[in-house]
Amino acid sequence: MDGVTWTQLPPVDDILTKKFDEWQRSLFEKGQSFTPLRGGNADHKYQFMTKTGPPATEGGDPTDEQKELTEEERLAWMVHEVDTACSVVPAGAYVLLSTQQVVANDFYKGLSISESLMLDSYLHLRKPVRLESKPVSERAGLAKSTRFLDSVADDLPKGSW
């Protein structure tokens, strides 16, 4: 053994994402944007307040509700965000079937040396975020079965890869 106890992180779903967003919003309201790690203590709980109740447009007064985010949940969300931002694959390695299923391309042979040096040859392996916002004229030239993911060349700040 390696002397470490490994556990499965909780899944990052809509509920955890909402809780993390509320926690971040509470930090910003206090003038903070970062909270240091707690030394790996998975039991640590971040206490925060959030507003609940009817929207201000309905004339009601929102009430404060105490919530908590565990270090384990925070770590799971952070790992998820890193995976989302950094999981990249070479263009053409995966294809989109007519059934909207993404599968490995059996005919993919790799990139040439010149292609491997171009950022346009790499795509994020995630649900597209920016592709839908491209003008139709730009999307028309893309091969729908192999260029269905966001290119890392479009990442901000430019040159980050």
Residues 55, 108: Cα–Cα separation, whole Å: 52
pLDDT of 53 reads 67
Measuring CA to CA, which residue among 63, 116, 123 is closest to residue 92? 123
Is residue 109 over pLDDT 90? Answer: yes
Residues 47, 128: Cα–Cα separation, whole Å: 34
Helix extents (H) in 87-157? 113-116, 136-139
pLDDT, tens digit, 9 for 90 and up, residues 8-43: 899 999 999 999 999 998 888 888 877 776 666 777
Beta bridge partner(s), residue 70: 45
- Lowest-pLDDT choice from 25-29, 32-36, 91-95, 126-130: 32-36
Given pLDDT bands bounded at 50, 70 and 90, which one contains residue 141? very low
41 CA to centre of own chain: 24
Total Cβ atoms within 10 A of residue 51: 15
Is residue 115 over pLDDT 90? Answer: yes
